[in-house]
Amino acid sequence: MSTPSEPGDGRADPSLDAIMSERRRLINLAYRMLGSLAEAEDVVQETYARWYALPQRQRDAVESVGGWLTTVASRICLDVLGSARARRERYVGEWIPEPLPERTEWTVGPSGGTTTDPADRVTLDESVNMAFLVVLESMTPAERVAFILHDVFRYSFAEVAEIVGRTPVACRQLASSARRRVRASQAPAGPTAEHAALVRGFKQAWEAKDIKTLIALLDPDATTVADGGGLASARLQPIDGGERIARYLVDILARTPALTILERTVNGRPGLVAQYDGVTVAVYAFEVTGHRIKHIWVVRNPEKLRPWTTEGRGRDTPTGDE
């Protein structure tokens, strides 16, 4: 059987280094398109499988390996996004994009080194903050792909058109429509220092069960959305209102005194992680608007917490989110 490093004729593939050097960019691309690291990895794996399924003469004829891989990965993402809509209609509760930790915070493996999960190569910038990814979920598959390729990865509309199979004019319209969604849904991000100070104050007030301070830190119209995916206890409906959220969070700690709250970077922005017996059981991402916390996204689904912990996967814990 031939392998990526040993083509069918047994000779080393001279383009292997160039091909594999594209992996980081493809993971970055697919994660932003899908909001799921696991699905992004699958897309990249399938992309490489299709490359090595080509006869050698066809591979030799490809002028730009990176361009070919990007085109194939983007088209696979389009297909995945199309089928994802049907899957998410059957999803238990709310669906939230998969959260990513900061590169320096990857889980340490048994040997003391960090895990080799390709997620550690996802570049954390404003195009992966949770608020941005949630807005992307509201787009059609074509809007999302065209917008990410053009606005995030700076492909020309002519290049985008070739990838998605539409005219450059149509792709420009798709990206424009997506851009309007982003502007309408997202308030300008404040300074990271202010965001961090609010999250830190929120953590301290939460640990102190100080409802009054929590309410003061939350926007009166704040919303909390939790994602358990049917695999961990989580409220199926969002919680609206700063006071309701504050009382709900204090109740969680009252029922789960062993829960530990830690400050962590979540998708490039300050966030929180809840641990139970040393295992990460929830990740909290925040959006700050007007000097207050406007949105909180809580990921409880253990399948989406893979980059945060290698222990206790699939194990439900009594965090009081039901």
β-sheet with 239-240: strand ranges across? 239-240, 218-227, 292-299, 279-289, 269-276, 260-266
- Residue pair 239/102 in contact (Cβ under 8 Å)? The answer is no
Q: How many CB atoms lie within 10 A of CB 143?
A: 22
- Cβ–Cβ under 8 Å, residues 256 and 221: no
Name 287's bridge partners.
295
Q: What is the DSSP letter of 152?
A: I
Residue pair 202/209 in contact (Cβ under 8 Å)? The answer is no
Cα–Cα distance, 54 to 261 (Å, whole number): 50
Residue 264, H or E segment? strand 260-266
Separation CA 23–CA 16 (nearest Å): 11
Contact 142, 174 (CB under 8 A): yes
Per-residue pLDDT of the chain (322 residues; tens, 9 = 90+): 333 333 444 444 546 777 778 898 999 999 999 999 999 999 999 999 999 999 999 999 999 999 999 999 999 999 999 888 778 778 899 999 999 998 654 443 433 333 444 444 577 677 789 999 999 999 999 999 999 999 999 999 999 999 989 999 999 999 999 999 988 886 666 678 889 999 999 999 999 999 999 999 999 999 999 999 999 989 999 999 999 999 999 999 999 989 999 999 999 999 999 999 999 999 999 999 989 999 999 999 999 998 897 533 333 443 445 4
Rounded to whole angstroms, how far apart are CA atoms 318 and 171?
A: 47
What's the CATH number for 95-129+189-322?
3.10.450.50
Q: Compute the distance between CA of residue 304 and CA of residue 124 in angstroms, rounded to an integer.
A: 17
Q: How far apart are CA 279 and CA 257, in angstroms?
A: 15
Say which amino acid occupies 256: T
For the chain, what are the domain ranges? 95-129+189-322
State pTM to two decimals: 0.84
Interstrand relation of 239-240 and 218-227 (parallel, antiparallel or unpaired)? antiparallel
